[in-house]
């Protein structure tokens, strides 16, 4: 499962476990309830700032929020937009993904 979907799943579970609503969450985040609804439905993209606020509000780390409920799947999923126009771009993208993977491994140590 993608990390943004995992984050929403964890926040939904936290809200249910703590008898909180999406409206309450919106107030805590100083945002409109419609934004939370759009984030939860997937019609609006989850931004890093949203994840940071979810982490602060729930007391969960960003890694915990992004982790999969399925313990056998602990891989991060990257969502990129656009297209690769040449071989140099493709090499740069592969290097970026490798660097990101190494960074995540270092964080988990």
- The Cα 71–Cα 20 span in angstroms is 26
| pLDDT beyond 70 at 106 | yes
The CA-CA-CA angle for residues 61, 10, 108, to 5°, reads 35
User: What is the reported pTM?
Assistant: 0.63
pLDDT over threshold 80, residue 88: yes
At 78, is the secondary structure helix, strand, or coil? coil
15-59 pLDDT, tens digit per residue, is 999 999 999 999 999 999 999 999 999 889 888 889 899 999 999
Q: What is the pLDDT of residues 48-81, one digit of tens each?
A: 889 899 999 999 988 888 887 655 455 556 666 7
Question: What pLDDT does 72 receive?
Answer: 43
What DSSP state is assigned to residue 55? H
């Amino acid at each position: 499962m993608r990390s943004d979907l995992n984050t929403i799943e964890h926040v939904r579970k936290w809200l249910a476990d703590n008898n909180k609503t999406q409206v309450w969450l919106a107030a805590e985040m100083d945002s409109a309830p419609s934004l939370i609804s759009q984030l939860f439905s997937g019609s609006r993209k989850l931004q890093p700032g949203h994840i940071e606020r979810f982490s602060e509000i729930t007391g969960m780390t960003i890694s915990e929020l992004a982790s999969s409920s399925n313990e056998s799947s602990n891989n991060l999923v990257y969502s990129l937009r656009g297209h690769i126009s040449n071989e140099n771009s493709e090499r740069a993208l592969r290097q970026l993904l490798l660097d990101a993977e190494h960074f995540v491994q270092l964080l988990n140590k």
